[in-house]
A and B are shown apart, each in its own frame.
Chain A
């Protein structure tokens, strides 16, 4: 079609708008699918953003979790540990956010949504058990679910693209904790919401070293574990910021 200089101003306006609209659409399609996960490179020096760790005290509200002792439901222990861990991280200059900071019922989907929307460096779920000894650090065991369909992430497999990063963080944490000679194991677990998270995600299960479940509820034991964990998490920070620049 030839440009007709005698076309009316209205027609020229409509044509110009159409060209701008098509151009912007093409430009948008060339940008990354998840711009928040892969920020576009910029010539200017990136502004350092505080490193964020999302701490998720498991259970809560109507879900008491395991009954470690008659007076210590798991939900109370996980909340106490999460609060201590927040303090320990804060003392090391690391900002953290608790998924629940009281006895509230939070569904697994809500927990995943809170963590996904916060874009943390690391998500850590806290659990407690009377079984075994010391700490267990879990990464997600992916279910036999379908793959992502086009632009839509499969909710059950959202962790898939981030699993390698989670396992690297798991290995680093375990190595750091092993240096303190505290018993620790790295395992995978079919544990929600780990597989619903699109960030590095781990779960930590605390168990007694003496075989007495009441040890998990003891202030001194919790403090020692939180200090160890905070040191281990702090060891992740320089490496990850050096690798990925600022975390979104």
Chain B
């Protein structure tokens, strides 16, 4: 039963790579967006909030198709990235990571934003009276206080990426060894006669990975919570 084929192992490794880069790549943008939404006061804030949350409510196929239009080989942004940084998204694993990042973005931003809103601003004021300018206040006080929220957001983004299917397959298709993640592989196997066992194996792997991610997040959050409560 647990006799993985090379293609299945390839799918698992690819999924982990895609999920990792989706999470890591979107983190700086997620943090910046959360700060703007939690602290900023500007015209059009609710519009930004809406745009960030769109991938959560739109059909994933729509998100994938929009990505294809924008980041495809002839899309405006796709051409820009290719010419400026030499990064191609269309039909590559990088494109799968981008799709996953976009789909996980609302979850990432939401988790960080909630923890930012829970930060006691009076602690930041106290740091200011002690001589710390804003950037130091952020790094030395705010960031450590929202660390549990950041970790939670990263885990959500990672887990969402492992499960992402619709946007990925629409944007970068289902190419073995390049864009065939666990989800796409299971889909393919269920469409193939005699693929049931393989599909089941990958399903178990998928469940195990999600479980490990949640346990790790819980452990980290608890450790940080203990630190903050005084032990």
Q: Do A and B bind each other?
A: no
